[in-house]
Amino acid sequence: MSAVHIRFPDGTGRTFPGAVTIGEIASAIGAGLAKAALAGKVNGRLLDLSARIDADAEVMIVTSKDAEGLEILRHSAAHLLAHAVKTLYPDAQVTIGPVIENGFYYDFSYSRPFTPEDLSAIERRMAELAKQDLPLVREVWRREDAVQFFLAQGEKYKAELIKAIPEGQEISLYRQGDFIDLCRGPHVPSTGRIKVFKLLKVAGAYWRGDSRNEMLQRVYGTAWAGKEELAAYLTMREEAEKRDHRRLGVQLDLFHFQEEAPGAVFWHPKGWTLFQRLVAYMRDRQEKAGYVEINTPDVMDRALWETSGHWFNYRENMFTTVTEDERVFALKPMNCPGAVAMFAQGVKSYRDLPLRMAEFGKVHRYEPSGALHGLLRVRHFTQDDAHIFCSEAQMEAECRDVTRLIFQIYRDFGFTDVKVKLSTRPANRIGSDEVWDTLEGALRNALESMGVAYTLFPGEGAFYGPKLEFVLRDAIGRDWQCGTLQVDMNLPERFDIHYMDSENAQRRPVMLHRALFGSLERFVGILIEHYAGAFPLWLSPVAAVVLNISERQADYAAEVTQKLRKAGICAEADLRNEKITYKIRAHSLNRLPYQLIVGDKEKADQLVAVRTRSGQDLGQMSLDTLIAKLRKEVELRGSAA
């Protein structure tokens, strides 16, 4: 028996006389760690506490304080949910139960819909099974035996999943009490570790996401390390429901969707005003940063998409059509090939670089109907794309400039908590290691030279190049991935574009792909929820509404409205023959920044009485004073947001 040397993340180590389990390693370190341990990471691979190590290894003990530990806890909670359902409703068939952001779900096939009362009963049964502290034991089965076992149990979906597992891949099952489920693991050592959880809702979901298959019932839940974290999450979830952009979009008369155009937005006047404010804002920022704006066709021949590689890697997500002469065209799912085609027009010199080309390009991507979600997941949307063509020597400086611009723009919208992710070369990639070293180095050096903290995600880059992702945290603590910056030498190679250097020799440019809002539709949805519909003055589709107290002031209210509009302030008049208290209450629900009330006294003195949307009374002021105040507030932009 050979000694096993274990190294820990802090650089320390421990030697064991022979093979040792991860749980035994945790116990050797201390009773507290052994109690908290959920799993282990051995040479970067997550394993159960029962996994044996028989050779020298790097080991990290995973607890619920680690992101991986929380995921394992939630994954095990999904199995606990399935176990509870099978004990209460034996005829239900279990399918899949993955971890999702902040929780988990499990899909079931059952003869009738689950009711709220069912959810309560399932949750109580989960608590009972957790209290029994049943061990979760991993078992490796022969494929044929596993298929036959689940077919005998009436679990045709599990049998289908096993048949789809590639030959040669291990078939692992987990047993907890009398319940057995297919899973790669790892899992917590016993059900007693799953103490803080809650079931949230039931929704429909097609088997394997295909609308041609059976509709299943998806039970959503959440699990946390402690009661305080669960309470905080439920509070945030409740607040998020109040801010749901789909509900507020209707309430504020911004947009709607309808079945005849699934995944495409019908913008109402106020919503389109907000959309155009974002476009105008970004256009101004880009122009000042040295960008030129272009526009490329929405429909292009398949040959272009074959050259770019999208036809072979993204075909199932593209909308296509065939003309009378049998030419195949595609609605563009991305703007990049069009930008390359623009660069290829005419001879480019090193003096033309860096060439920063921006485009508010409409793109079309097929998303399954079940994945569509208001403005956040659509099929037809507008990207604030830009493609920067530069030399290798200019690449790092351009990365810095883009990163700086992203932070400045997000700050203007009130997003000050921004995290950066650096995703590096994946296993399946094109290009030499030397090229990848250059591209990754440019992104890493740009961030480090600016003092920007980042999290490394090894292997998560695109097949053609590494990328930065910018993640915003909103007003209630939710994270949204929006901006991206990718460096690419692949498309310039595929399209064979070049520029002439100072020696009149052909050189291949580097291509930077950059989006700051990402999808404008999605960014509008994020803003609606971030501000809860109460947009800052500079973004609000309507800055102020003028309310007359009686018919006697209708002419003056209309006059005030016109003067505000001439001053560049979007204002509306509400001249309805309603009580002023009714009108104030109605417009407070619409969350407009200001209400301007005019009665006989205001009309006589050529004043307006000003109220904020929060109900604060700012008193009477002249129209000139009000206009100066509003203009100053607009200028403050980010700080006012």
How far apart are the C-alpha atoms of 360 and 385, rounded to whole Å? 6
> Candidates 1.10.10.10, 2.60.40.10, 3.40.50.720, 3.30.930.10; correct CATH number of 255-296+335-531?
3.30.930.10
- Residue 571: phi and psi, rounded to 5, are -130, 155
- Please report the pLDDT score of residue 101 as a whole number: 87
How far apart are the C-alpha atoms of 98 and 114, rounded to whole Å? 19
Look at residue 584 and give its three-state secondary structure: helix
Look at residue 311 and give its three-state secondary structure: helix
How big is the chain, counted in residues?
Answer: 641
- Sorting pLDDT into bands at 50, 70 and 90, what band is 640? very low
Token pair belonging to 14: 């421990």
- Please report the pLDDT score of residue 208 as a whole number: 85
Task: Determine how many CB atoms are found less than 10 A away from the CB of residue 559.
Answer: 17
Instruction: Let me know if 385 is a catalytic residue.
Output: yes
For residue range 149-182, what is the model confidence (pLDDT) as tens digits? 999 999 999 999 999 999 888 999 999 999 999 9
- Please report the pLDDT score of residue 419 as a whole number: 95
- Please report the pLDDT score of residue 369 as a whole number: 77
Catalytic residue among 187, 365, 425, 591: 365
Q: What share of the chain is helix, strand, coil (3-state, %, to 5)?
A: 40, 30, 30
Instruction: Let me know if 193 is a catalytic residue.
Output: no
Catalytic residue among 48, 107, 384, 385: 385
How far apart are the C-alpha atoms of 600 and 550, rounded to whole Å? 9
pLDDT surpassing 90 at residue 343: yes
Q: Are 162 and 143 in contact (CB under 8 A)?
A: yes
Catalytic residue among 75, 193, 356, 387: 387
Q: Is the peptide bond before 9 cis (omega within 30 degrees of 0)?
A: no
- For the range 87-96, what are the long-range contacts, defined as Cβ-Cβ under 8 Å and sequence gap of 24 or more? 87/125, 87/129, 87/179, 88/118, 88/121, 88/122, 88/125, 91/154, 93/154, 93/155, 93/156, 93/157, 93/158, 94/155, 94/157, 94/158, 94/181, 95/157, 95/158, 95/161, 95/207, 95/216, 96/157, 96/161
As a whole number, mean pLDDT of residues 464-487 equals: 92
- Please report the pLDDT score of residue 372 as a whole number: 87
End-to-end CA separation in angstroms for the chain: 66
CA separation, residue 418 to residues 251, 415, 472, 480 (Å): 30, 7, 5, 9
Instruction: Let me know if 270 is a catalytic residue.
Output: no
* 316 DSSP 8-state letter: G
- Please report the pLDDT score of residue 313 as a whole number: 80
Q: Indicate the average pLDDT of the chain.
A: 94
User: Could you write out the three-class secondary structure of 79-130?
Assistant: HHHHHHHHHHCCCCEECCCCEECCEEEEEEECCCCCCHHHHHHHHHHHHHHH
- Please report the pLDDT score of residue 1 as a whole number: 63
pLDDT surpassing 50 at residue 639: no
CATH code reported for the domain at 68-242: 3.30.980.10
pLDDT surpassing 60 at residue 250: yes
- Please report the pLDDT score of residue 599 as a whole number: 96
How far apart are the C-alpha atoms of 496 and 508, rounded to whole Å? 8
Instruction: Let me know if 153 is a catalytic residue.
Output: no
Instruction: Let me know if 198 is a catalytic residue.
Output: no
How far apart are the C-alpha atoms of 145 and 485, rounded to whole Å? 49
pLDDT surpassing 60 at residue 641: no
Q: Are 381 and 362 in contact (CB under 8 A)?
A: yes
Catalytic residue among 86, 467, 478, 530: 467
Q: Are 72 and 55 in contact (CB under 8 A)?
A: no
pLDDT surpassing 90 at residue 78: yes
For residue range 83-114, what is the model confidence (pLDDT) as tens digits? 999 999 999 999 999 999 899 999 999 999 99
Which residues are registered as beta bridge partners of 256? 266
As a whole number, mean pLDDT of residues 46-56 equals: 95
pLDDT surpassing 80 at residue 44: yes
How far apart are the C-alpha atoms of 406 and 414, rounded to whole Å? 13
Catalytic residue among 79, 243, 429, 513: 513
Query: b/e for 318-353, b at 16 or more Cβ within 10 A?
Result: beeeeeeeeeebbbbbbbbbbbbbbbeeeebebeeb
pLDDT surpassing 70 at residue 431: yes
Look at residue 619 and give its three-state secondary structure: strand
Give DSSP secondary structure letters for 263-304: T--EE-HHHHHHHHHHHHHHHHHHHHTT-EE----SEEEHHH
Catalytic residue among 176, 286, 383, 553: 383
Query: Among the listed ranges 132-141, 317-326, 345-354, 551-560, which one has the minimum average pLDDT value?
Result: 317-326
- Torsion angle in degrees (nearest 10) through CA of 556, 560, 561, 567: 160
Query: Among the listed ranges 42-51, 56-65, 367-376, which one has the minimum average pLDDT value?
Result: 367-376
How far apart are the C-alpha atoms of 486 and 515, rounded to whole Å? 9
Q: Which of 407, 445, 439 is nearest to 426 (CA)?
A: 439
pLDDT surpassing 90 at residue 19: yes
Q: Which of 366, 303, 372 is nearest to 333 (CA)?
A: 366
Instruction: Let me know if 387 is a catalytic residue.
Output: yes
As a whole number, mean pLDDT of residues 282-308 equals: 95
How far apart are the C-alpha atoms of 332 and 196, rounded to whole Å? 46
**Angle, helix 623-636 to helix 554-566, in steps of 10 degrees:** 40
For residue range 379-421, what is the model confidence (pLDDT) as tens digits? 999 999 999 999 999 999 999 999 999 999 999 999 999 999 9
CATH code reported for the domain at 4-63: 3.10.20.30
Instruction: Let me know if 251 is a catalytic residue.
Output: no
Catalytic residue among 48, 75, 336, 379: 336
Domain spans of the chain, in order of start: 4-63, 68-242, 255-296+335-531, 299-332, 544-636
What homologous superfamily does CATH list for 544-636? Answer: Anticodon-binding domain (3.40.50.800)
pLDDT surpassing 60 at residue 197: yes
Residue whose pair of structure tokens reads 């908590």 in the numeric block: 417
Which residues are registered as beta bridge partners of 381? 363
How far apart are the C-alpha atoms of 228 and 599, rounded to whole Å? 51
Burial of 509 (0-12, 13-18, 19+ CB in 10 A): buried
